[in-house]
Amino acid sequence: MNKPLILGLVGALSLTTAAVAQEYTASERAHRIAQDNLIIDTHIDVPYRLNKDWEDVTRATKRGDFDYPRAKQGGLNVPFMSVYIPAQLEQTPGASYQLAHQLIDSMEALAWRAPQKFAMAYSVDQVMQQQERGVISIALGMENGSPIEGDINNLYEFYNRGIRYITLAHSQSNHISDSSYDVRRQWNGLSPFGKELVKEMNNVGVMIDISHVSDEAFWQAVEISKVPVIASHSSLRRYTPGFERNMSDEMIKGLAKNGGVIMINFGSSFVTQQANRYGDIVRKQIAAINEQYGEGSEEAEKRIAEVRAKNPFPFATLEEVLNHIDHVKNLVGIEYIGIGSDYDGVGDSLPVGLKDVSTYPNLVQGLLDRGYSEEEIEKILYKNFVRVWREVETYAAKH
């Protein structure tokens, strides 16, 4: 979830989506690959979306990027639903813990209400069994470790509730780790508790997610972990220079050496430099207008509308997302790439051709067009991540 960069721009983005004319059409072969194979997407923000704006996602919805009909259309079998915890809640004791349990409850309720469509998934084997039954497996990842609240017992509790990865921090540094978005580096990486938490996550069987953390925290987590780690929803800094939230080439090499996987984020601000910098540029212009004419004044609103009309959001494209995949493949190999779309977490900033969970066949078609074999595509869709998940399960079983 990229709320600090995206949500303030939703009003402007909605004005420009219809202006995008480019279309993508997946072939019958691409649809077959999407339907015949597992598709695991490790970051979809449905729980927080429904917490703020409830809809019945067992049916087609008017809003959002995910619902059951679109998921089935796209071939999505295993959405890792993000238990997203806003960073500021850490300042209120108990608030992160409370929200995390509520969001987990909401996903359990979804599976209970529609057992012919959804089922909770706590292991690789369970995912495979439920694929055979034709239901969508709801797996859980915690985006922001603040609900742990400095107590290892809470790690065990959340594992027992189904959490299978934890993003160590989010948009602010917390009691576990420094954040890539936060200029304060209070720990110079992981906190002492964070280092112990990483070890215990290995022992329990919770995957370590290094999306959102600072570079120093990434390197420390990779060094400490005895099993591969994941970046559940990150893309490449090569295409967004200076954006620490994405991964550098050296970090990707370190991740591959660790055996981990980078799950490519689809959000336009993660994919292209132009989209990444759009928010800052437009916000500065709007701030100047508000200062000159008075925030909320008729003249200010008129001029802000003109700024947005003249500066439509520069949506990324499917082709540019594929460039990220190509680069990781060329840099370290096909074995370290997966999908972490950030659907329902990046507002209306998704690329042309990848607007919701029905569009995974477009991604498959793009990979076919670039010469990827079906075996390579299967690795990206699920096999690489399943390898990591099984290694984490196996290590925990021994410890």
Domains of the chain: 23-273+316-398 (3.20.20.140)
- Percent of the chain scoring above 70 in pLDDT: 94
230, 210 in Cβ contact below 8 A? yes
Average pLDDT over residues 45-60: 97
pLDDT at 11 over 80: no
Q: What is the pLDDT of residue 152?
A: 98
Comparing CA positions, the residue from 314, 327, 304 lying closest to residue 256 is 327
- In whole numbers, what is the pLDDT of the chain averaged over residues? 94
Q: What is the mean pLDDT of residues 73-81?
A: 98
If one compares 23 and 106, the residue with the highest pLDDT of the two is: 106
Which residue pairs from 47-51 have beta carbons closer than 8 angstroms and sit at least 24 positions apart in sequence?
A: 47/81, 47/82, 47/83, 47/84, 47/103, 47/104, 47/106, 47/107, 48/1, 48/82, 48/84, 48/103, 48/344, 48/345, 49/344, 50/106, 51/99, 51/102, 51/103, 51/106
pLDDT confidence of residue 303? 92
Strand-pairing partners, residue 163, are 140
Do residues 169 and 144 make contact, with C-beta atoms less than 8 angstroms apart? Answer: yes
pLDDT at 18 over 90: no
- Encoding tokens for residue 321? 């997302």
Helix (H/G/I), strand (E/B), else coil: 139? strand
Over range 347-365, report the average pLDDT. 97
Instruction: Provide the token pair at 241.
Output: 């220079």
What pLDDT shows up at residue 21? 46
Q: Which of 268, 264, 304 is nearest to 284 (CA)?
A: 304
| pLDDT number for residue 19 | 36
pTM for this one?
Answer: 0.92
Mean pLDDT of 52-78: 97
Q: Phi and psi for 344 in degrees, rounded to 5?
A: 65, 10
Tell me, what's the pLDDT at 280? 80
Lowest mean pLDDT of 105-109, 293-297, 342-346, name the range. Answer: 293-297
The whole-number average pLDDT for the span 154-171 is 98
Over 70: is that where the pLDDT of 1 sits?
Answer: no
Contact assessment for residue 140 and residue 163, using Cβ atoms and an 8 Å cutoff? yes
Beta strands in 108-238 (DSSP E): 118-120, 136-143, 163-167, 207-209, 230-234
- Tokens at 146, concatenated: 């603040």
User: For the residues 346-374, what does the mean pLDDT come to?
Assistant: 97
Question: What pLDDT does residue 9 have?
Answer: 45
